[in-house]
Amino acid sequence: MKFLISNDDGVYAPGLLALYQALSKVGEVVVVAPNAEHSGSASSLHISQPLYAQKLASGFISVNGSPADCVYLALNQLYRETRFDCVITGINAGDNLGQNVFYSGTFGAALTAQVFGVPAIATSLVGGTMSDDEQQASRYDMAATEIVKLLTETSIMEVIKQLPNHVLNVNIPNVERAEDIKGRKVTSLGYRQIKQPVHHIVDPRGRDAYWLSLRKSQQLNSESSPPQQEDTAGHSEDYESQSPVYTDYQAVAAGYMSVSPVRLHHTPASTLDAFLNISL
């Protein structure tokens, strides 16, 4: 198998290295990743400035752009003659659960791969950090091994190849050892309200400044319904509360690996009907 991997934590991130080492045991791996952290960049592209690709001593390629830039450049220029079986992004330092996927550079890079028809998986380690200490390195190695097991011990690769316009979003629970992972759960995206979306500060020169935040409450299994989630017939689309399927938050809180298929380019038929019934 041939894999292209990227991330949003940067080309030197411990999660990227762990993923590369684990995938190299089962296939050919190419790394094209940002030269700096780009968390929260979603699928943004730099179309108003040039990109520069630098090959590092490790063989990884570093790019002065976003995660989506890296995948876009790799598929359409740097490795345009290569047919990749899958693009895998991560392992992200921290979770990408619920609505966070829409801001995540890790998910955005995977989404970019799907735009060009390449199967894509975004991976994250709940509780992971950018620390390079031995404990964190061990946890990323554990997470990477579990990702490889998902690819090699299940038919997941065959399934995602047959599902165009989908990205698989995978979160490894916050555990120290693989033995503590209870299993895998196919999950839906959950929803949790952001605790404090904007933090106002005053900088040393007396100017107002603002930090945007995606931080949620501390309890991973405390969820609420997304706002305005009713279809045109008045029926709730909050299928998470009507189905035995775990949400991603619930799965990782219970110690399971969360595997969420996320569909892109989706316009519900009921929404189309609502607009077709009005005069524009």
- Sketch out the chain's domains with CATH numbers: 2-189+244-271 (3.40.1210.10)
Q: Give pLDDT, residue 237.
A: 44
Q: Give pLDDT, residue 40.
A: 85
Look-up of token digits 């969420």 = 260
User: Per-residue pLDDT tens for 83-105?
Assistant: 999 999 999 999 999 988 999 99
Residue type, 42: A
Confidence of residue 240 (pLDDT cuts 50, 70, 90): very low
HEC states along the chain? CEEEEECCCCCCCHHHHHHHHHHCCCCEEEEEEECCCCCCCCCCCCCCCCCCEEECCCCCEEECCCHHHHHHHHHHHHCCCCCCCEEEEEEEEECCCHHHHHCCHHHHHHHHHHHCCCCEEEEEECCCCCCCCHHHHHHHHHHHHHHHHHHHHCCHHHHHHCCCCEEEEEEECCCCCHHHCCCEEECECCCCCECCCEEEEECCCCCEEEEECCCECCCCCCCCCCCCCECCCCCECCHHHCCCCCEHHHHHHCCCEEEEEEECCCCCHHHHHHHHCCCC
Least confident of 114-128, 184-198, 218-232: 218-232
192 in the Ramachandran plot: left (φ > 0), alpha (ψ -120 to 50) or beta? beta
* CB-neighbour burial class of residue 53 (10 A; exposed 0-12, middle 13-18, buried 19+): middle
Of residues 106 and 43, which shows the higher confidence score?
Answer: 106
Residue 220 has pLDDT above 60, yes or no: no
User: Per-residue pLDDT tens for 38-80?
Assistant: 988 888 999 999 999 999 999 999 999 999 999 999 999 999 9
Q: Give pLDDT, residue 233.
A: 32
Residue 33 has pLDDT above 90, yes or no: yes
- Two structure tokens written together for 148: 């490889």
Output the average pLDDT for the chain. Answer: 88
8 A C-beta contact, residue 74 and residue 110:
no
CA distance 211 to 213: 6
> Phi and psi dihedrals of 56, rounded to 5?
-90, 170
